[in-house]
């Protein structure tokens, strides 16, 4: 199995252009990261770039010949530069110098990379890097606007100390941001136009100002779904319980503590949503009485705590379901399918992800998961152990299929169809 953080990169042809700036050395890291994701990487570099990083380095890491010269014919068994440009699924230039932006905006083709730039018809992502004075020059701004108006995506430079010793915007964007943009541009955009609420993580039910009851959910599955859905074009609202994860890119996030707060947030936003994906492990009970002061241990042989049931979020919003698609999770100990089916029926779900959380290496806290997808038609799809990032896309694929069926039977069309 490949690295698997960006499933949309596996098997894709990424054409990486490298131009002559100090950030060119980071192309090596990018190539490695793409190869780790299972992508085929072709590199085309300018002569100036080869002064910052050798073609040999990029050739070794990409395991493919590096193209630099217009007039070197393709060797036996390799494809020509024009074919290379036509075959690309995505064209990324990182770093893109001010000179490159100017030529690309003007349509100048005076070397291999600028020629390729006019041939590609796949999505284009540019990651500029240059001195901050150059970056803020109006000519560069105009060139960037021209390229943007032609549909080119930009991963804007970051602030910081530049190689020339000055401070300011101009440093090549971080690897993560570039990878994210490439993944977003590669993805099918098949969730475009959909509003999706994803809940994730545990809830935290306070007993007194310093103590609370919670569960072992870490939020990884829900966060992976939110990130994948945003990458595929959905408007994502992540309602997150307390977790230690970074906010997923591209999703709006609201952090909540208790089950009641989570319910409040879902109720507030459900109206504008098409899908609700309840990946959160909502606490079923909360302490019946909250003590405003810390409960002392003095004089207690036993501490008896009474609990009262929390509202069931899915059941609470069920009356507002209408034509929305509801996805739930059943985290069970033991065979999750029979209980999963019952919960699916009880909570009016269109799709249930049932998993056994008692198994080592899958479920709470781990990076991998194994689950069975259930739907009301009786279909059962067993998903083998796989990274949660990959499973997120599988769940969304199935949800989309069900959504389309639902829309078709209601005689409606999706915006992107
Ligand atoms: N859920 C919810 N509100 C709750 C509890 C659960 O909306 N108060 C949602 C979960 O997010 C999940 C689904 O319901 O998508 C099933 O959750 P689970 O805890 O497995 O089901 P429960 O109905 O709480 O059943 P039990 O805990 O008794 O197994």
Q: Are residues 250 and 116 in the same domain?
A: no
In a domain, 1, yes or no: no
In a domain, 415, yes or no: no
Q: Are residues 177 and 321 in the same domain?
A: no
- Predicted local confidence at residue 291, as pLDDT: 95
Q: Are residues 129 and 253 in the same domain?
A: no
Residue with the smallest CA separation from ligand 1 atom 18 is 330
Q: Are residues 404 and 337 in the same domain?
A: yes
Question: How far apart are the CA of 310 and the centre of ligand 1, in A?
Answer: 10
Question: How far apart are the CA of 402 and the centre of ligand 1, in A?
Answer: 22
Structure tokens belonging to residue 249: 């890119």
- pTM, two decimals, is 0.72
Quote the number of domains for the chain. 2
Return the CATH number at 144: 3.40.50.1950
Write out the DSSP string of 317-381. HGGG-TT-EEEEEEEESS--HHHHHHHHHHTT-SEEEEEETTSTTSSTT-SEEEEEEE-TT--EE
Range of the structural domain that residue 13 is part of: 7-186
Give me the catalytic one of 156, 164, 305, 408.
Answer: 164
The top-scoring range by mean pLDDT among 68-77, 144-153, 271-280 is 271-280
Q: Are residues 177 and 121 in the same domain?
A: yes
Mutational pocket test of ligand 1: of 282, 336, 373, the residue with most ligand atoms within 8 Å of the beta carbon: 282
In a domain, 25, yes or no: yes
Q: Are residues 85 and 114 in the same domain?
A: yes
CB environment 276-291: b (16+ within 10 A), e (fewer): bbbbbbbbeebbeeee
Q: Are residues 122 and 226 in the same domain?
A: no
Residue 2 has pLDDT above 50, yes or no: no
In a domain, 369, yes or no: yes
pLDDT by residue (tens digit) across 167-226? 788 999 999 999 999 998 998 788 999 999 999 999 999 999 999 999 999 999 999 999
Where is the domain boundary, 149, 165, 186?
186
Question: How far apart are the CA of 396 and the centre of ligand 1, in A?
Answer: 20
3-state secondary structure of 171: strand
Q: Are residues 231 and 349 in the same domain?
A: yes
Torsion angle defined by CA atoms of residues 363, 364, 367 and 371, in that order, rounded to the nearest 10 degrees: 20
3-state secondary structure of 5: coil
164 is catalytic: yes
**Position in ligand 1 atom list of the atom nearest CA 280:** 11
Q: Are residues 122 and 246 in the same domain?
A: no
Q: In terms of Cα–Cα distance, which of 251, 150, 162, 163 is closest to 199? A: 251
- Predicted local confidence at residue 292, as pLDDT: 97
pLDDT by residue (tens digit) across 368-417? 889 999 999 999 999 988 889 889 999 999 999 999 999 888 877 655 54
Where is the domain boundary, 136, 152, 186?
186
pLDDT by residue (tens digit) across 143-180? 999 998 888 999 999 998 777 777 788 999 999 999 99
In a domain, 414, yes or no: no
Q: Are residues 276 and 152 in the same domain?
A: no
Q: In terms of Cα–Cα distance, which of 239, 95, 100, 63 is closest to 177? A: 95
Where is the domain boundary, 186, 203, 237?
186
- Cis amide prior to 95 (ω within 30 degrees): yes
Q: Are residues 275 and 170 in the same domain?
A: no
Q: In terms of Cα–Cα distance, which of 154, 83, 96, 103 is closest to 124? A: 154
CB-based contact 173:201 (threshold 8 Å): no
**Position in ligand 1 atom list of the atom nearest CA 310:** 8
- CA distances to 135, 263, 323, 347 from 319, in Å: 53, 14, 11, 11
pLDDT by residue (tens digit) across 277-301? 999 999 999 999 999 999 999 888 9
CB-based contact 178:30 (threshold 8 Å): yes
- Predicted local confidence at residue 1, as pLDDT: 43
Torsions phi, psi of 309, nearest 5?
A: -65, 145
Q: Are residues 27 and 162 in the same domain?
A: yes
Return the CATH number at 353: 3.40.50.10300
């Amino acid at each position: 199995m490949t690295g698997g953080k960006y499933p949309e990169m596996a098997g894709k042809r990424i054409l990486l252009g490298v131009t002559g700036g100090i950030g060119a050395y980071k192309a090596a890291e990018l190539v490695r990261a793409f190869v780790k994701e299972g992508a085929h990487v072709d590199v085309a570099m300018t002569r100036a770039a080869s002064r910052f990083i050798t073609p040999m380095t990029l050739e070794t890491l990409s395991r493919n010949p590096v193209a630099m010269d217009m007039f070197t014919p393709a060797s036996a068994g390799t494809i020509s530069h024009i074919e290379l440009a036509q075959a690309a699924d995505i064209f990324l230039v990182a770093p893109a110098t001010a000179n490159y932006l100017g030529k690309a905006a003007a349509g100048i083709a005076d070397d291999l990379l600028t020629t390729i730039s006019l041939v590609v018809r796949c999505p284009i992502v540019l990651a500029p890097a240059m001195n901050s004075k150059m970056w803020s020059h109006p000519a560069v701004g105009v060139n960037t606007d021209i390229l943007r108006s032609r549909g080119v995506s930009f991963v804007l430079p970051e602030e910081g100390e530049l190689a020339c010793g000055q401070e300011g915007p101009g440093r090549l964007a971080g690897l993560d941001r570039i990878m994210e943009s490439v993944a977003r541009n590669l993805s099918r955009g098949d969730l475009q136009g959909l509003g999706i609420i994803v809940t994730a993580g545990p809830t935290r039910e306070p007993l007194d100002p310093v103590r609370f009851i919670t569960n072992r959910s870490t939020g990884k599955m829900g966060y992976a779904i939110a990130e994948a859905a945003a990458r595929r074009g959905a408007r994502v609202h992540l309602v997150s319980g307390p977790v230690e994860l970074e906010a997923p890119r591209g999703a709006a996030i609201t952090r909540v503590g208790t089950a009641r707060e989570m319910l409040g947030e879902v109720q507030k936003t459900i109206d504008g949503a098409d899908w609700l994906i309840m990946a959160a492990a909502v606490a079923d009970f909360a302490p019946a009485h909250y003590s405003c002061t810390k409960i002392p241990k003095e004089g207690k042989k036993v501490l008896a705590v009474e609990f009262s049931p929390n509202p069931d979020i899915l059941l609470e919003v069920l009356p507002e379901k209408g034509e929305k698609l509801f996805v739930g999770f059943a985290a069970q100990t033991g065979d999750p399918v029979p209980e999963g089916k019952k919960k699916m029926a009880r909570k009016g779900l269109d799709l249930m992800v049932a998993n056994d959380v008692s198994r080592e290496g899958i479920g709470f806290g781990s990076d991998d998961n194994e689950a069975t997808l259930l739907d009301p038609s009786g279909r059962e799809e067993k998903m083998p152990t796989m990274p949660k990032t990959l499973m997120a896309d599988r769940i969304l694929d199935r949800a989309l299929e069900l959504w389309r069926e639902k829309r078709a039977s209601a005689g409606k069309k999706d915006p992107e169809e």
